[in-house]
Amino acid sequence: MESLKEILSRRRALVITPFAFAGIYALTSRKGDPPPPAVDVTIIPFDDHGNPQPATKTKRIVHTDAEWKKLLTPGQFYVTRRESTDTPYTGTMYKSHNRGLFRCICCSNAVFSSDAKFDSATGWPSFFAPIAKENIATRRDTSMMMDRIEVHCTLCLAHLGHVFDDGPEPTGLRYCINESSLRFVAL
């Protein structure tokens, strides 16, 4: 004969299982939000030699999910357009010390420089500052039951990663950035 504990455990599983499947379905079948409007934004362009150009006012780059999927690999799409996170220590940029620019994989906007890169021992490329404050945007992120600050590309709103207050001097910040959201240009 079954114990009361076994019966209650089985009932709990029967009650929870449909909700778990509903949650999985909702996450995997998400069609995506409609594209944001193509508003004017101001960025600081950088040439491929790392030289800043005058501030430029331009239209935000906007694509549908279908268009982004044609431009990006599945991993890049998932990280930049669905705000996912690369698995730590799976790329090569976190351990690279080559001199260069890090551009947004979606729109080529310069977002970080190797001059601000440091080894954070986290498995992600880390920087203590963006290449230009105009080139990134931040917002509060309360997903995953955490309170964090999310970092986006100003020009196309690609998810880049998160910023934390445990970085080195001179800023005390650590921009923890997904490799899938970056394209490195050597100087």
Instruction: Give the pLDDT means over successive 10-residue stretches in the chain (187 positions).
Output: 56 47 43 70 96 98 97 98 96 95 98 98 98 97 89 98 97 98 97
What is the pLDDT at residue 1? 61
**Distance set, CA 3 to CA 13, 14, 152 (Å):** 16, 17, 54
What is the pLDDT at residue 29? 42
Distance CA 54, CA 76 (A): 29
pTM, two decimals, is 0.81
Nearest 5°: phi and psi at 124?
A: -125, 150
What is the pLDDT at residue 2? 63
Give the residue numbers annotated as catalytic, written as ranges. Answer: 176
Q: Which residues of 11-26 are buried (b: 16+ CB within 10 A; e: fewer)?
A: eeeeeeeeeeeeeeee
What is the pLDDT at residue 158? 98
Other CB atoms within 10 A of residue 58 CB: 14
What is the pLDDT at residue 176? 98
